[in-house]
Amino acid sequence: MPDRTYAPSSFTEDPDRYKPGGLHPLTIHDAVHHERYRIVHKLGSGSFATVWLAKDNQENRYVSLKVLTSDTPLETKELDVLHKIASAQVKHPGRQFVIQLLDDFIIEGPNGKHRCLVTEVAGQRLSRKSDAAMGSLKQARAVGRQIAQALGFLHTIEIAHGGERHLQDFTFEADHYCPRLL
């Protein structure tokens, strides 16, 4: 095991991933993309990105800003899928439950060039609401219905989770694009 700066907790990414080819260093109050997006809070991190809550100063709203690692290709399948979702002309009740791409751009930093994806901020966490009755299935049923509608929309525009099989040129894990549960 390589030497680490310190042992990361389950709540933070490994700080040793901030290196060439890795993550882009951002902190609260930083501004990116010509000062348009100001960083407010870290929402999370994963194997190939960090996700931040940011204030869009141009539109006066909060957005989710996903900053991919610099070793992720700048033209990603994820970007292709998000563009396909955004450009879909289909009216479908499930569309409201699928994250929409608002903007994308590239930033260059000490670790390389990073694709940034700006989307709507997802809805609430899926944990039981504090005012919900113990054992109530009301929220679970609503979430299940919204996921089914979201997947229905994605299938309508020929995007589907297919594992090793492909539906035309688009395959992905659908749950990455359906977190807007109301």
The enclosing domain of 155 has a CATH number of 3.30.200.20
Distances (CA, A) of 151 to 37, 126, 127: 30, 18, 21
- Residue 163 domain-assigned (yes or no): yes
Say if 7 falls within a structural domain: no
Question: Of 1, 12, 24, 39, which Cα lies nearest the Cα of 111?
Answer: 24
Segments in 1-113 forming alpha helices (H): 77-87
Domain span including residue 62: 15-177
Residue 62 lies in a domain: yes
Q: What is the mean pLDDT of residues 134-151?
A: 86
Q: Say which residue the tokens 């989307």 belong to.
A: 119
- Are 15 and 5 a contacting pair, CB within 8 Å? yes
Q: Using an 8 Å Cβ cutoff, are 65 and 37 in contact?
A: yes
CB atoms within 10 A of CB 40: 15
Total domains in the fold of the chain: 1
Q: Is residue 2 part of a domain?
A: no
pLDDT digits (tens, 9 = 90+) for 59-79: 999 999 999 999 999 998 889
Decide if pLDDT at 161 tops 70: no
Average pLDDT over all residues of the chain: 83
Residue 52 lies in a domain: yes
pLDDT band at 179 (very low <50, low <70, confident <90, very high): very low
